[in-house]
Amino acid sequence: MIPFRNLAETLTPDGSRVSVHEHDGEYFLKLNSRQLMSSTSTSSELLLADKACAHLHDRAKARVLIGGLGLGFSLKRVLEMIGPAGVVQVAELLPEVVTWNRELLAGVNGRLLDDSRVEVFV
């Protein structure tokens, strides 16, 4: 049996533990040991991005705000739907989640945070 690997963890301002794990090539975000997100179960994140962008009048120059970076699947989908002049602002509570996306999760979604259309606010 392949074990889960705890890659990193941090605490929220209220003391809850947020952690990122890997198991057999799948990545997870957990809150107090409860799974929040998985790299193989992304339908809700993708649907949220689809719904948010469905009514944009000018996708080429759209400005979209995402609350929470997570594993980056909503961000990836929005970037696929907006044009080169668009902007995606990501509001993230935990700087560690941003670091995890840059360092531990780059293989999951690529280097989304390096896209010039992305602005991250912590």
Per-residue pLDDT tens digits for 79-106? 999 999 999 999 999 999 999 999 999 9
Q: Based on the number of CB atoms within 10 Å of its own CB, is 58 exposed (0-12), middle (13-18) or buried (19 or more)?
A: exposed
Give the start-end residues of each E strand in 24-92.
Answer: 26-31, 34-38, 63-67, 87-91
Kindly report, residue by residue over 52-74, the tens digit of the pLDDT: 999 998 988 999 999 999 999 99
Give me the pLDDT at residue 1, please. 83
Q: Give the integer Cα–Cα distance in Å for 24 and 119.
A: 32
The residue extents of the domains of the chain are 5-121
Beta bridge partners of 17: 11
Which is more confidently placed, 110 or 22?
A: 22
Q: Pick the closest to residue 94 from 26, 23, 8, 5 (CA basis).
A: 8
pLDDT at 69: 97
pLDDT in tens, 32-50: 999 999 999 999 999 999 9
User: What number is the average pLDDT over the span 108-116?
Assistant: 95
CATH superfamily for domain 5-121: Vaccinia Virus protein VP39 (3.40.50.150)
